[in-house]
Structure 1
Amino acid sequence: MAKLIKLYEENPNEKQIQEVVKVLRDGGIIIYPTDTVYGLGCDINNNRALERIAQIRGVKLEKANFSFVCESLSDVSGYVKQMDTSVFKMLKRALPGPYTFILEGNNNLPSVFKKKKTVGLRVPDNNIARAIVRELGSPIISTSIRDEDEVIEYTTDPELIYEKWEKLVDVIIDGGYGGNIASTVIDLTQGEPVLVREGKGSLEI
């Protein structure tokens, strides 16, 4: 049964953040707020937790398109090949914000992701998400929690999220109502930026 933890984005409680991070370090899975939709996340360095998320999602871990949620742009640069100036400037303008950027991964990627060669990176404009990553000291793997009801698409009410997910995850963070528009996904591996999915983030960056 998942534990429900209430956190306030303006000032996330440090003790509760530490409690969430302990769960992540122990191989747990959390549901947490971002600047777009609620995400399902775990520590990128814990293979057991990664397998659990892949199983919940019904995908093979090696083929899964999970994002890495980082605390800052400098964290992002630790997992990707050297960025040229135009890419770096675009990321600097856009982050933190509702974007996922696809970039070429470097040798710091966890072994299960090395075959993929590319990685989707996020720095959400949400203090709770970034406080968790900062305390953990490494990114969290993340995937949006979709709703089977295609009209809603994403569940936004933490209480409804708890009802649905309490037996599947270890911690659910109530950070208030979430959004129901996902991040804008931009592929930066082709030289020119390629829009993969238009979401909450403006295309004027």
Structure 2
Amino acid sequence: MSQFFQLHPDNPQPRLLKQAVQALQQGGVLALPTDSSYALACHLDDKDAVERLRRIRGVDAKHPLTLLCRDLSELSSYARVNNAQFRLLKLGTPGPYTFVLEASKEVPRRLSHPSRKTIGLRVPAHHALQRLLELHGAPLLATTLIEPGATEPLNDAHEIRQRLEHQLAAVIDAGACAMQPTTVLDLSPMTSGDAPVLLRQGQGSLAALGL
């Protein structure tokens, strides 16, 4: 049965955050609130946890996963970023955007896109999640919490626990969570001077990025 952590949205309790981090470090998959919708997340370097996350989500190895990063500096260490891309990233972080970029050598090869060697990255604007990432000290691998066969993400912590309590190590409740996923932008064409490509219109506004 999964643990259930009720965190204050603005002042998350350090004791509960430490317990959540411990669950991640022990190979657990967690349900986390973000500034867009709930996500499934696990330790980046734990192969078994990544496979479990994919099974819960009902996707195969070809489905792209996202790195949740603390800040733009951390994001830049896991992706190759030129000046034009960096200026756009500054406008969208933190926020409800996922950016697809060329993966750096810091990203395990099995996690990047098999044919294009790209990776999705985001810096969430969610206080409790930011504190968890700080305490964890490294990015988390994540995907939107959508059940197999469903089209909408789950966004209620109690319902998530009821549905997935035997598959998750923990569920974090930090108040109300949006249902709309991130806007996904592929910035890899900018490497050769082309325009970014919109892969999914979500909560993040293109106008806020000057697009």
TM range, smaller chain: over 0.9
Counterparts of residues 6-21 of structure 1 (less than 5 Å): 6-21=6-21
Q: CA separation in 1, counterparts of 2:112 and 2:30?
A: 24
Unmatched 5+ residue regions in structure 1? Answer: none
* Secondary structure of the structure 2 residue equivalent to 1:190: helix
TM-score calculated relative to the size of structure 1: 0.93
Q: CA separation in 2, counterparts of 1:85 and 1:71?
A: 20
Q: Percent identity?
A: 34
Find the counterpart in structure 2 of residue 24 from structure 1. Answer: 24
- 1:203 and 1:60, CA in 2 relative to 1: closer, same or farther beyond 3 A? same
- 1:67 and 1:178, CA in 2 relative to 1: closer, same or farther beyond 3 A? same
TM-score calculated relative to the size of structure 2: 0.91
CA displacement 1:41-84 (0-9 Å, x = unmatched): 001011110111122223333x2311000000001011111x22
Counterparts of residues 125-140 of structure 1 (less than 5 Å): 125-140=125-140
Q: CA separation in 2, counterparts of 1:57 and 1:144?
A: 8
Q: CA separation in 2, counterparts of 1:149 and 1:57?
A: 10
Find the counterpart in structure 1 of residue 95 from structure 2. Answer: 97
Find the counterpart in structure 2 of residue 203 from structure 1. Answer: 206
Tell me the amino acid that sits aligned with residue 26 of structure 1: Q
Find the counterpart in structure 2 of residue 49 from structure 1. Answer: 49
State the 4+ residue runs in structure 1 displaced beyond 4 angstroms. 147-150
Counterparts of residues 37-116 of structure 1 (less than 5 Å): 37-61=37-61, 63-81=62-80, 83-114=81-112, 116=114
- 1:114 and 1:120, CA in 2 relative to 1: closer, same or farther beyond 3 A? closer
Matched, 1:193 2:191: no
Deviation at 1:112, TM superposition (A): 1.9
Compare 95-104 and 136-145 and name the one that shifted more: 136-145
Q: CA separation in 2, counterparts of 1:115 and 1:124?
A: 22
* Secondary structure of the structure 1 residue equivalent to 2:168: coil
Between Structure 1 and Structure 2, how many residues are aligned? 201
Unmatched 5+ residue regions in structure 2? Answer: none
- 1:23 and 1:195, CA in 2 relative to 1: closer, same or farther beyond 3 A? same
What is the alpha-carbon root mean square deviation over aligned residues? 1.4
Q: CA separation in 2, counterparts of 1:200 and 1:178?
A: 12
Deviation at 1:101, TM superposition (A): 0.2
Contact 1:68 1:139 in 2 (8 A): yes
Counterparts of residues 145-156 of structure 1 (less than 5 Å): 145-147=145-147, 150=151, 153-156=152-155
